[in-house]
Each structure stands twice: as C-alpha cells, then as structure tokens.
Structure 1
Amino acid sequence: MLAKNFKKSLLAVNIGLVMSAGFTGAVFAAEETQIKEDVEVIEVRGIRASTKADINNKRFANAVVDSITAEDIGKFPDKNVAESLSRITGVGVSREFGEGEKITVRGSDPTKNRTLLNGQNVGTADWFILDNPSRSFNFTMLPSSLVSNLEVYKSPEARLDEGSIGGTVILHTRKPLDLDSGTTHINLQSQYSETSEEHDPLIEGLFSWKNEDEKFGILVSGSKSERTVRREGFEVLGWDAQDDGTYTPRTMGVPVFRQDRERTTLFTAIQFAPSDDFSATLNILDSNMDVNNTNSNYLLMNPASNATLSYEGENAVYGSGGTDVRWNHINRISSTDTSSIHLDIDFATDSFSMNVELGTTEAEGGTLNETSWEYGGQGDYNFDLTGSTPTVNAGVDGTDPSKFNGGWIWGGNKPTTDEESYGQVDFDIPVDMGAFTAIKVGVKYRDQKRTQDREAYSWHWGYANDGVSANYMSQIIGTDCPTLAQCDLAIGSDSVGADVVNGDITQQLTHNSAKMFELGLGPDASYAAHKVLGEIFAVEEKKTSYYIQGDFSGDDFRGNIGVRVAKTDQDSSGYLFSSDSAGLLTVDNPGLNPDLVPSTLEWVTESRSYTEILPNFNLSYDLAEDQIVRLSAARTMARPNFFDISPITAPGDLGEDNPTAQAGNPNLDPQLANQFDAAWEFYFDEASLFAITLFYKDIESYQTSGTYMQDFYDQEEDMWISATVTRPENGPGGTTTGLEATLQYDLGGGFGVSANYTYTDAKNDGERDVMNPGSGLVMGASENMLNASAFYEDDLFSVRAMYNYRTEWYKGLHSSGAELWNDDYGQLDFTTTVNVTENISVVFEGINLTNEKVVEYNTSKDRVLSIYENGRRFVLGANFRF
C-alpha cells in the first residue's frame, strides 16, 4: 500500500465528517460524541485541503455522490451556488444574464432536478417575465457564502426526497456549535463589469457565538450585493417554415438589456444541545432581490414579408427592401423574495435515534409592473445573417428621435407565488441482523401551492380617472408626444458592439425610462387594468411520502437498500369563461367595455391523484484498499412543471405572422425512470482520485406537445386573430446513456490539477418531426461537458484557473413556438489569493475571460435566434477571518 493511502476507519470517517462540516452520511449520536472526545476539530483551509475533504466525502458515501466544501467554494470565482455546481462532473449551468441561474444534471433539464437547503425545499418565484413557474431552482437567490458544503446525489437513497431524474443537490449551512465562539468572517469586494462599465459592491459577513459549555449557540450570516447588468444582443423573433420547405426570418432587432440587481440575504442558525442525546437547530433564511430592468430594441418588423430574399440552403439569410422600423422600450419593476423557517430536532436513545423536521417556506415576485412604448418609422433595409456576426442596416438614423413617430403603449404585470409547509419524522434504528447495521423509516408531508396572476394595462379604453371618457394613448402619443423628440423621451444615444452585430442598426437611442414611467403609470396617467383570465392559475399539491431503508456493511462492502412510496394529490385551478369576449376582466378604472367581459365566468378546479413506488439499491465494494467499485439501481420520478399542469391558455405576440399561444394540461403524468450506475474509483493519494462512472436511464415518458387553433382578441388591431396553440402531452419514453470521468491529481510542490468529462447520449423514442417543434428531443442534454482546472498554492499565495465547457443543447420552445437551441459554450475563469496575514487575504478574480457569448438558434445553426454578450467581470476584494 502506498505510504499516503489510508484505510477506512472510524477516525477517517470522523475526519471526513468534520472537514465537510455537515456531511449527511449516516452517523449516530454516540459516534458524534466520540468525534468530540477523540478527534481534534480540523478547519478546512486552502485548495489542497478542500480537495482532500471533497475526496474523503465521496469515498465514504454510500451512494454515487460528489461534494464541494465551503473553502473550495470560496476559492472559485462564483457569486452563487449554481456556478460552484458547474465544477462538478455531470453538472451543466445556464448563464443567460452572465450569472449561473439553473442547472442540468446528467442530461436532465433544470426542471427535472431538485435542490434542497438542509434537506428541504426553498420557495422560488422567478423575476423574469418570460419565465414560467416550474420546478427548477433559481440559484441567483443564494450567494455561495451561505453554504457550508454541498452534495450532488446522482443515485438516490430511500431516505432522500423524491422528485429528481437527474440528481438531487443538498446545500448545507453552518451550525454555531461546530465553530469556535466568536468566529467572524468578513468579505468585502468590488466587481467591475465590462459591458456596463460599472463598479458594484459586495459585502458578506458571518458571526458565530456559543456559550462556555457549548450547549447553546447563535450564528448570523448576511450578504448584500449589487450588480449593474448590461447585456447587448441581436435577436430574430422566430423563423417561419414555408410550404416549399424553406425558412424566412421574422422581426429582427438589437436589444440592450439593463438591470440594477440588488440582493440581500440574511441567515440565522440557533442551536441548542443540552445533552449528547438531544439537539435542536432553527434555521431562518430571508433573501430579497430587486431586479428592476429595462429592454430597448431597435426592430425591423417582419422584413421577409416585403423583401427580396436570397438563400443559403433552405434558409433566407439575405434580404433587402422597405419595412417598418420601430424603436421599442420596456420598463419592468421586478423582484423575487424568499423566506424559510426550518426546525431540525435530533433525539437519540440507546435503541434508536429520531429526527423531526418542521418548516415553511414562501416566495413571491415576478414582474410587478411593466410598460412598453413603441415608436416607428420607415426604412430601406438589408440584412446578412451568415457568419458569427450578422450585419443589419435599417436605413434610418436610429439616434435621431424625430425619425420615430408615436405607435403603441402596452403593459401589465405577472406576479407569482410559491408556498410550502412540511413536516417529517425519521427513525434510525441500529440492528444486528447479519450484514444489516441499521433500519431507517420515515414519513414526510408537504403542502405546496404555486400561483400566477396576470394583468394587462390599456390606455385606450374606458373612462379616465376623472370619469371623463378619453383615449389617453392617443393624447400622449398622438398629440403631446408625437415623436420621440418630444417630452424628453430620448436622452442620448447608445451603440452595440461590433462583435455582436454590424450595420447601422447598432446605433440607437437611449430612453428616458423615468419619463416613460411617469407618463404611462404616473399620478396623472389614465389607464385601465384588466385581469387576463386565460393566464391566471393556482396549482396545489399535497405530497405524502413513506420510506424504509436498510443500511448494511461488512469487512469490504457497505450500502443500502430501500423503497420510497410517494403519493401526490393535485388541484389545478383557473378561470373557465365563455369565448364571446377577449377574456379580460376590468379591475381598475372600469369603463363601458362590454366586449371585454365574458358572459359566463367561473373559477374551476381539476383534481387528480397518483402514487409511485420507488425502490433503490446502492452497493460500495472495496476492491482494494485504494479502490472502490459502486453499483446502484433505482426507480426515480419527477413531477411535471406547475405551468404545464395549469389550466391556462396564453397567447404570444399576436402581431407576428403565424402567431402562437401556450396552453397547460392538468392531466400530465410525472416522468419516471429506471436508472443504473456502475463506478470505479481509484484513490491513489490522499488528495488524488481517478474515477469512471457509467450511467443508464430508461425514461418511461417524455413530455411532448400537440397543437390546435384558437382565436384571440388583439387589442392593438382591434380584431380577432387565429393562433396555433401548443399544449403539452404525455409522450413516449427514451434512454439516457452516459460516462463520467474524474481526475484530481496532487502534483506536489503546491501544484495540482483536476478535470472531469461527461458524455451523454440522450434519446427520445418519439418520432422526430420538424413540423412538430420539440418532437423527439430531450431538453437540457449536452453530448459533451468538460471542466478543467489547475492550481498552485503556498503559505503566501494561491492561484487557480478554471475552464468550463459544454456542447449544444435543446432548451425547449422559443416564445415564437420554434425550437430553441443553445450553441456550444465555454467559459474561462481564474482566481488568486494573497494571504497578507493569517487572518487577512486579498482576492482578485476574473470571470468569462474569453468573453464567451450566449448563441441560440432554431434547430439549424444557420437560423440564429439570438446572440447575447454579457462581457467579462473582474473582482477585487479582501477577506477577514477571526
């Protein structure tokens, strides 16, 4: 055996537990007491020490698990947990606004994975108006500093919550009794964003105290950050398939997205452990994020409808002619607020240990107010959509506000909520039954409700606020502010970088957002607010789960076998109304609008129940003292998205050619899979590992979609428009086969490297029909994903460079109804730390050094849908530890 190899023992397990500060492996209260008495507490400091802790956690897990410790998280240039997770084998992350938001695990899309904080769900309310309520977790709410360590369970255990096809992420927070009394951490940073050219502050702090006998402690952690987001882009708002098999582009434009993002997160842990047999911890989380944003877009309206077109293959990528040129600006007041209260009680006797957990979590947010102003003119345009940088000329001076005449005002709001209350009881009973060492049983109940409201504003119907009938939109746009040159609506010019798009369309106005808000929604504005009945819903789920799990071990093996039974009672509610109206219910500033109100209106609920039986088995075998073979088999499930099972019908832009709409289906079934894992792990040094894992998932049903036609009322045109409605349906299954390879190598002398690669072959058995968008495809699956990093550290200095890459993946349906794909994406980051003293360090970080762009397309890479540039970011900061 190599000199540095170590054999499994209670001491090794205990060191791993202490280093990970909360690892969830099975351990009894008596063993915890032994840790306190026999093992010195080890604080994880430095990249190499973090690597050792991560390897130790993985080695002694009873399932296929990867983990990251707090110190390792701190050594990444990551501002939220999703970006930290992207370093783990098999995990991909989306960065639409330059910061990690949602993850995919082993080819399963973000809605088919679960993220738990201390083993429990945290409410989520997406802030972006184009997002629909799903089961994915928005990681922008949680700063990395909140987390003590995290684990990704790729093979389930019966004791863990159901609901994931890809993987279950468990985030652990710190506990005050695990830290020295008076522990203080302060982190001060300034972040510079290249696109916005702004410096934004971040401050994080942690203080932990416990009394002298270490029976009571309080930990308080806080984080406050600001980020000025600017995203420059180019968009084609859909491609239309023609009868001859060719495709023509819809409206195209150059959007500039701006956002002032402010996030405040407070976390408190109160722990009481009067004896070795009893411990109670109360975790309180409150996270608030204000994400007000604007989007300006210089648009060519439906250029292909009146153009001379040229083709490359089947796609019209060249064109010229005359068309409407519009300048559109959207103001949005948006936020997302999340809170949770979680009580965790542990009690142990000589014959069993018991865990009781109670809690509640709430989230509310969304777009709380939106106004969009659109002014237009005429231009002689031409476009060339070939190559990595399109060229578009509008033929109108986009910086001259007098060229844009009044057109249309629209707006509304889309608030969402997420509430859940839960309770669970778990028993861990030591036994001596052959190889079995413990029997675990438990029950959990969850009551969750997701809602979406929707209102539309109109400035052209109904009575004015003073009771006098008026058309306020005509007054403002037609009389008071006939062009953008009046009313201080334009306050300068702006441009988009030539590495995103070329041509005169890159030169555009800068809006006066405050003036637009005052005119549209200020105290002197006159507008009506209408409930959009077809987009309002509430989905409530009452979930009851039971499990039994047996843990077993021998001289050279260990594992568990169990079964979890999950029952779901689902209520999907929405408005049922007659089709003799626009489906709008005026709720503010009501006027004589009989054409808006349906003759019949009723709030209805559609209910259903289903139960799934989910067995699983995990085996770890010590092939040698430094090698482990793992086998696992399980049946898993993921419930459908809340939006997809809502009884709604929501139209898109009815002004487009071939308009589309989305509908829900309360009768969607959960996705089920039978999965198998086989892994070989070689621990050839205490900080070195090579592992290969094969995984296979037999998916019983993928969600597919069907279409039908329905008429919708278009306010702008004052007419009924026929749109194609896409409705999710239960579809055929498929398979996901993959390989994960992981290398972590301590080279000695302070140097080290790590790399991991994931190959995923995800297949949908459904028929691939390009005329039926989304058919035969699997969301979220990149065929290849790669992470590579190298580091050096000594007592004074450490530096780490990291590269993260994934190949193209299908993202679902675009707002136009077309298939949306994300092109290959690779990002290079680095971080360096200088230890000024034992307690003070200076940090410098670089994020997205290659200035990678987010490129999206419609099935063929020649049909670009969007190119977004978020730019590079640089961080300078100081950390203080006492």
Structure 2
Amino acid sequence: MSSNKINKCALAVKMGLMAGALSLSMPAMANDGVTEDNVEVIQVRGIRASQEANLNAKRFANAVVDVVTAEDVGKFPDKNVAESLSRITGVGVSREFGEGEKITIRGASSATNRTLLNGQTIATADWFILDAPGRSFNYTMLPSALVSDLEVYKSPMARIDEGSIGGTVVLRTRRPLNLDANTVNLGVEMQYTETSGNWDPQLSGLYSWKNEDETFGVLVSAMRQDRDFVRQGFEVLGWPDNPDLELKVPSHIGVARFQQKRQRETVFASFQFAPSHEWDITFNALNSKVDADNQNSNWLIFVNNDAASLGGLTTIDNSIVAGSVADGGTSAFNFINRVASTETRSLDLDINYSGDDFEVHAQVGSTRAKGGTLRETSWEYGAATGYNFDLRGSTPSASTDVDATDASQFNAGWIWGGEKPTTDRENYAQLDLSFPVQAGAFTDIHAGVKYRAAKRTQDRIAYSWHGPNTLSDESLAPDWPVYLQYIFDSCPTMADCGLTQGTHHIDAVVSGNMTQQIAHNRARMEEIAFVGLNGVPADYARSLILDENWAVEEDITALYIQGDFEGDNFRGNVGVRYVDTRQTSGGYEFSGDSWGFLTIDRDWLTPAELAWVEQKNNYQEILPSFNLAYDLADDTILRFGAARVMARQNWNDISTSITYGSLNVAQPTGTASNPGLKPIIADQFDVAYEWYFNPQSVLAATLFYKRIKSYRSFSTFVDQRYWEEGDQMVDVTFTRPENGPGGSTKGLELTYQQAFGEHFGVIANYTYTDAKRSETRDESMPGSGLVEGTSDHMYNLTAYYETDLFSARLMYNYRTEWYKGLHFNGSELWNDNYGQLDASFTYNVSDNVSLALEAINLTNEQVLEYNTNKARTFSIYENGRRFVAGIRVAF
C-alpha cells in the first residue's frame, strides 16, 4: 500500500468526531473510495483532537476541501451552521438580523453556492417579506447541533452535484450504527439578548439505540431555540436622482425599531438497517420550523417629496447629506405587523450495496418548504412638520418640530397589508455505480445518473380596507361607505382607539429627537384590522397582485463518469458531468383595466383579459473536472484542480415577477424578472500547498482563479402602476436582470494552525479576493461592473486554551466591504466592513457533564449599509450582544 492511501487509523479519526463518531451519509460517495467497514471507531474529544480530525479529513481528501467537525461545532458559540462556516477560509456570512443566515464562498454570492444535506438539496422558504425567493439556503433553519460534520468543496468532482461557482457545502447528519447503543446527549441553555433584555431557553436532545448485532439502529434528536430579538436602526429608503435639484436626495429618512419573537423547532430521525456486510440502508426524516412573527416601527421624514422646500443643504459627491425644512414638511409613523414563518421537511432513503468487485448506491427522496409572510398589516399616521437631518459621521442625526412621543400629533393616513407565501419543493432520485479497475494509474471508476424535479412558487395578495362592501352590516355604521373610512373617523389620531402603549427610545445608532418615539400596540392594531371596532366587524377585500404571483418548474437530468487514480506519490480524479436543465416560468398576462389586481373574495377588480402564460428555457452543459494531489514529502502536499462549473440564476430572477416600492414618493422604482436567463458558467483553477508539520498543525496556501463567462447584468424601463391612495397611475422605473459580460475572480487563501505545548493553540486564516467584471462600470446603470458578495479581504483569528478540566476560545471574524446586489428600490446596496468577536468557555464537571458560557458579538458591531458611496447611508443596524449559559450532558 502506498503512502497516499488513507489508513484505517486516519479514517477512524475522521469518523470519530463528536462524543461518539462521525456518520458519513454516503459511504461510496463521501470517502473517495474508502468505506467504513471494519474500522474501529475512536472517541474524539476536545479542541485539539477535533482540529486533528479536521486536518486529517482535509489532508487525505482528493480535492480542495475544508472541514468542520461536530466536536468543533460544539465548541464554537454558534447557534446555526452558517456561523460555524464563517470560521472556514474563504467563507463569508451575512448577519442582518444578528445571526448568520447566508454565506459567500471565494467571492461568489450566496445565490451561486450550493448546500447539500447528506448529498441532497434542502428546500428553503425565507420568512422575511423583503427577501426575494432565491437559491441561497437560509441557515437559520439548521441548528449546529443537528450536524455531524460539514465539508466545503472548493474544487468540484464530477460526482458531486453541480450548481456552484464558489463552493459546495456538504452537511452530514449522524447515523445510529456509528454511535454506541443508548447514547444520550442533552443540552439546556439560556440566551440573553442585550437589545431586548430578555433571557430565552434553548433545549436540545439526542438519543441513539442499536441492537446487539449492530444491524439495526434508531436515532432521534430534537431542538428548540427561542429568541426575543430587537434591532434598532437608522434607515434611508432610497437615493433617487432629483431632476429639479440635479442631485441625489434621500427619499425617506427613518428611525426604525424591528422586534421579533423567533422560535425554532427541529426534529430529526434516522433509521439504519445493515442486515449483512454488503447492505446498508438508511432512512432520514427532518422537520425544521421557525415561527418568525415580527413588527417594525419607523418614524419617517419624506425628504425627496419636500425637495423644493429644502434649505441649509450640504452635499458630498453630488448627494444631499444634510439639510432642513422650515415647516410643512412631510412625515409619517409607519407601523408594520407581520405573521411570518418558514418550515422545511425532508425525507431521504439511502441504499448502499457492496459486492465483491462493485458498489451500488441509490438515493431517493423529497424535500418541501413553505413559509413567508402569511399576514401583514401596515398603518401610517402622518403630520406636517419642520425637520433637519445630517447623515455625516458615524452617528447621523435627525430631528423634527413635531413631538413623536405625542400620539395626538399624528393624523390618520393609510392602511395596507397582504400576504406573501412562498413554497419550494424538490423530488430527486440518483443511482451510482463504483467498481475497481487496474488500468495504469486508475484504481476506481464511478458513474451515475441523477434526476431532480423542483418547483418554486410565490403568491402575493393585497388587503384593501377601502374596497367596496367592506362594511358588511351598514346598519351598524350607515354613514361610512367603507371600513377604512370608519376606522379613520373613529381613530382620527394615534391617540385614539388605544393604538399606542407608552414610548421607547432609540439611541444606539442615531442622535436627535427622532429617537424619542411612540410604541405601537400590535394587538390593538390587529384587533381593529381583522376583528372589528366598536361593534363594527372588520372587513377588507383580498386581491391578487397579478405581477407578483408566479411559479417556476425545473427538471434537471445529470450524468457523470469519474475515474480515481493513484501512484507512488500522487492521487486524484478526473471526470465529466453532463447536465440538462429544463425550466418553465409561469405567470399572469392581463389587461391594465384593473390596475394589475384580481379581487378574489368579492366583485370588484377583474381584468377584462386574464390568462396564465408559461415561458420555457432549456440549456445543456458539459462540466469536466480534474483534481491532483502530489506528495512533495511525507508531510507536504501540492494540489492542482481544474474544472468548469455552473450556477443557475435565482428563482425570482427567472420568474415572471414584477414588484415595486412605495408609490407615494417622487421617482418610484421597482424590479422585474427575466425567464430567459441562462446560467452563470465559469472555468476555475486551483493550486494549493499544504504542510502538515505536526498532527494538529498546518501551513497552507491556495491560489484560485475563475474565468466567468457571463455575469448577471441589469437594464431599466419605465411603466405605469396604479397608486391606490392617490387613485392615479404613476410612472415607475423598473430594473430587469440580463445575461451580461463575464469577468474573472482570482485570489489567495492562507491557513496557519498550530498547537503549542500541551494546552495552547492558534488558528488563523486569510483570504484575498479580486473579482472583476468585463462590463464597463456605469453608476447610472445599477449593478453594472460589480460582483455580488465579494470582500477583498477576510480573515479569522482563533486562540484556544484547553486542559482536561477547562477549555476556552476567543475568535475574531472580519471581512471588508462587499456589494450585496440591488436594494428593493432598485439601487445598489453595499455592506461596510464587519468584524465580530466571539468567545466560548467550557468547564468539565465530569466525563459526562460540562458547563458552557458563550458570548457573541462582544464588540457590539453594527451593520452599516450604503448606496455605492459611503456618504449615501442606507441603514445602520445594531443587533446587540448575546450571552449563552448552559449545561451539556453526554453518556
């Protein structure tokens, strides 16, 4: 056996990863030809042991791969998988709501990377109403405790699913036959969130059993995590070009407070049957649900609407950053209540058969997700006021003449609302065949076929309290034609009808008296909107917003063949994957006589012409790949990888959707989709040097280069939309995606990891990414010349100390500014530099019981977003610090 073969000890270290063992979901697929049979499971505990397991997995892989083990995940202060991934070289994470949600890899946006659970897609449906359905996976659905280990494949292999430009994340769950019988893991924690001032429970449990013959096992795990979350913010909702001033002007300036009660419940079960040495059959079932009801209040001044009255102006780079209105300016309190949730379900059957000279792997399953905003109510109360603002400096200021703590100052304005549910589903089936060969350096051949049938939908329904016949019993209120008017006449100001409950103060991100605000009464608002007022039943018309209702179906057939090779000082693989993609995008085509609405619960708005129209889009791709690992010495490896990769366009981008923002502003904007978009194609190359100078230590450098064939670009057009409040049609400027010119991404990854003495260690990594587009940069064309998700510099620093009794980690994660794509108003959105300091401490009371203390975002880092130029602030959000204390039991 050559020195390149993975020996059983190394494989056992890779497998023995939490307080038990690592379960690999697809033996034939995951171990590069090495199976788990007859391998002794080694218990791996502690930071140093988990680091050694991580490095063994990376060292003996046949591609450029990074690994985080279950033991490592348990020692991080991470509550979902995205935060654990942020520790890996080249991986960035977004934290808009204080918790990791979506990731970027090597400068590729979250939409152009793939996440697989046990080798398969996980359906996802975002809960936040402003999130457009995309291909990004929302990691809030996956608590870290669910995962056995995770791998990030940065160089592809033919037998791993296509669909990623940056990298593919493969998550694996535990298997009962790899754990001791009657294994129990329990965790009880309390999390304190600084911005809300509340303690929330977090509970987890796992039980695994197998029979004495170790032929059948059952594993069940369940987790519940509550979070009472408050985010304080300062927002500018747009930077339109004002033609009269010939300047960019803030559209709205607001001081916002977002509040959410989030409850995540996850249940996972695994049944494994291995009746003989040849057979291994595993059935996995996952259900994860997040209840995400939220409310948002925003005290706003409408600067662009008052542009003619602006005085005392200060401009930077042709943008108004400070000014005032003497009196009569437009302002409003906007209160939004949302009932929101997201739920993911997956059923998966994995069958492996190992014959004397071949292996067969079959996998079939289904994944479903549903969620979104299931009910929204938005109320606006306005006042005329003088005001001033100054957006310069780290803490902007905004003040008004009207007292925002006096509810009697605000008159009734408008009520709107609706629903935005989404669904995601995929059925899949695959068959893989592996057999050994003796053909020169080739040792194994793998071939397979996979079929995926997916469908993504979005519904959009508007509520209209001013619709006809919304007073079901006119005898109760004979003087009011519609329920909206009855509400406003009964509640002419915010002081009436109990719509407020005290005040709150937002002082973390902005100065000025706009920080002193009324607190709205969510329960009372929803009672009036959906139950009734003074004995008059609530009523509203429900209408489809036809432009925003769509469905996209996608059928994918993939074939591959891959050969593994090995010699005295080298190993690797070469293969090709053929992919056929067939997409059908459906949406409504209608006449404009009903303003784009179809009332579904009464006779009101019905277009004269209405039809469901589908557009088809088909393409085929051939994706070759090659990976080579060459041993320069026993502890030093040189790697080379080359491949063609692809990423399909976002679901929303290939739908028929057309959306727009507020119509009561000057120069309203919106976005449109394009069902004819082709995928993003890239040719990529990797060269890596890895020196494993002791069992817990490595020094590695990787150069990567990607030649992108076609990026997503944008064009604009103007069309009219109906403004309900003003009862008129207004011009809206829409932005539409297109296949544009390509570009290149090149970069460097550096990794250093070392254990010092018996107790100390450091882990450090750095990524430099230079991403460019061939498209000419033109700021008048939003998104032109920009690459989404790319930070030029990212780094992680970790220091740890560990004894048998106590362990501690201090971790810092940093990335420079990055372009996030288009804001919902069609403008370019950027995120400023972000760095987060976290810490974790564990005290081992006994072999089975440990106490844990964790701290997240110790430096209280704020999320700062801006519009291309840092002078044009979009938002400043403070999510606050979090602290977790708990006890963990394992036996």
Tell me, yes or no, whether TM beats 0.5. yes
Give the distance between the partners of 2:344 and 2:31, measured in 1 at CA: 36
Q: Counterpart in 2 of 1:18?
A: 15
2:174 maps to 1:171: no
Partner SS state of residue 54, structure 2: helix
Q: Counterpart in 2 of 1:248?
A: 249
Q: Counterpart in 1 of 2:350?
A: 344
Give the distance between the partners of 1:47 and 1:549, measured in 2 at CA: 36
Q: Tell me if structure 2 keeps the 8 A contact 1:753–1:790.
A: yes
Partner SS state of residue 274, structure 1: coil
Partner SS state of residue 592, structure 2: coil
Give the distance between the partners of 1:220 and 1:685, measured in 2 at CA: 37
Q: Which of 450, 454, 459 is the equivalent residue of 1:444?
A: 450
| Root-mean-square deviation (Å) | 1.6
Give the distance between the partners of 2:29 and 2:568, measured in 1 at CA: 20
2:531 maps to 1:522: yes
1:586-601 superposed matches below 5 A: 586-588=599-601, 590-591=602-603, 593=604, 596-601=605-610
2:427 maps to 1:426: no
Give the distance between the partners of 1:799 and 1:420, measured in 2 at CA: 42
Q: Counterpart in 1 of 2:319?
A: 315
Partner SS state of residue 296, structure 2: strand
1:87-236 superposed matches below 5 A: 87-236=87-236
Structure 2, unmatched stretches of 5+, are 475-479
Partner SS state of residue 875, structure 1: strand
Percentage of pairs with the same residue: 55
Give the distance between the partners of 1:390 and 1:480, measured in 2 at CA: 37
Partner SS state of residue 487, structure 1: helix
| Matched AA of 1:795 | D
Q: Tell me if structure 2 keeps the 8 A contact 1:696–1:738.
A: yes
2:521 maps to 1:512: yes
Q: Counterpart in 2 of 1:284?
A: 285
Q: Tell me if structure 2 keeps the 8 A contact 1:621–1:629.
A: yes
Give the distance between the partners of 2:9 and 2:212, measured in 1 at CA: 28
Give the distance between the partners of 1:651 and 1:715, measured in 2 at CA: 13
Q: Counterpart in 2 of 1:533?
A: 546
Q: Counterpart in 2 of 1:816?
A: 825
Aligned residue pair count = 870
Deviation at 1:355, TM superposition (A): 0.4
Deviations 1:600-644 (A, max 9, x none): 000011112110000000000001001000000000000001100
Q: Tell me if structure 2 keeps the 8 A contact 1:582–1:597.
A: no
Give the distance between the partners of 2:481 and 2:436, measured in 1 at CA: 77
| Matched AA of 2:296 | N
Q: Tell me if structure 1 keeps the 8 A contact 2:26–2:350.
A: no
Partner SS state of residue 809, structure 2: strand
| Matched AA of 1:786 | Y
Q: Tell me if structure 2 keeps the 8 A contact 1:453–1:536.
A: yes
2:676 maps to 1:663: no
1:32-43 superposed matches below 5 A: 37=38, 39-43=39-43
Give the distance between the partners of 1:513 and 1:280, measured in 2 at CA: 50
Q: Tell me if structure 1 keeps the 8 A contact 2:6–2:60.
A: no
Q: Which of 771, 774, 783 is the equivalent residue of 1:765?
A: 774
Partner SS state of residue 404, structure 2: coil
Distance change >3 Å, CA 33–CA 812, structure 1 → 2: closer
Q: Tell me if structure 2 keeps the 8 A contact 1:33–1:276.
A: no
2:376 maps to 1:370: yes
Q: Tell me if structure 2 keeps the 8 A contact 1:29–1:353.
A: no
Distance change >3 Å, CA 9–CA 460, structure 1 → 2: closer
Give the distance between the partners of 2:625 and 2:870, measured in 1 at CA: 41
2:280 maps to 1:270: no
1:382-531 superposed matches below 5 A: 382-464=388-470, 466=472, 468=474, 470-477=481-488, 479-497=489-507, 499-522=508-531, 524-531=537-544
Deviation at 1:572, TM superposition (A): 0.2
Q: Counterpart in 2 of 1:3?
A: none
| Matched AA of 1:755 | A
| Range with bigger deviation, 15-24 or 175-184 | 15-24
Deviation at 1:32, TM superposition (A): 10
Give the distance between the partners of 1:222 and 1:561, measured in 2 at CA: 40
Q: Tell me if structure 2 keeps the 8 A contact 1:302–1:656.
A: no
1:455-854 superposed matches below 5 A: 455-464=461-470, 466=472, 468=474, 470-477=481-488, 479-497=489-507, 499-522=508-531, 524-588=537-601, 590-591=602-603, 593=604, 596-854=605-863
| Matched AA of 1:11 | K
| Range with bigger deviation, 461-470 or 790-799 | 461-470
Q: Tell me if structure 2 keeps the 8 A contact 1:671–1:702.
A: yes
| Matched AA of 2:176 | P
Distance change >3 Å, CA 34–CA 226, structure 1 → 2: closer
Give the distance between the partners of 2:5 and 2:425, measured in 1 at CA: 43
Deviation at 1:324, TM superposition (A): 1.7
Deviations 1:821-857 (A, max 9, x none): 0000000000000001110000000000000000000
Q: Tell me if structure 1 keeps the 8 A contact 2:471–2:482.
A: no
Q: Tell me if structure 1 keeps the 8 A contact 2:671–2:824.
A: no
Deviation at 1:464, TM superposition (A): 2.4
Structure 1, unmatched stretches of 5+, are 1-5
| Range with bigger deviation, 66-75 or 651-660 | 651-660
| Range with bigger deviation, 517-526 or 115-124 | 517-526
- TM-score (normalised: structure 2): 0.96
Give the distance between the partners of 1:717 and 1:30, measured in 2 at CA: 64
Distance change >3 Å, CA 634–CA 24, structure 1 → 2: farther
Deviation at 1:313, TM superposition (A): 3.9
Distance change >3 Å, CA 447–CA 753, structure 1 → 2: same
| Matched AA of 1:87 | R
Deviations 1:9-45 (A, max 9, x none): 52344224423514579769999999654x5321221
Partner SS state of residue 249, structure 1: coil
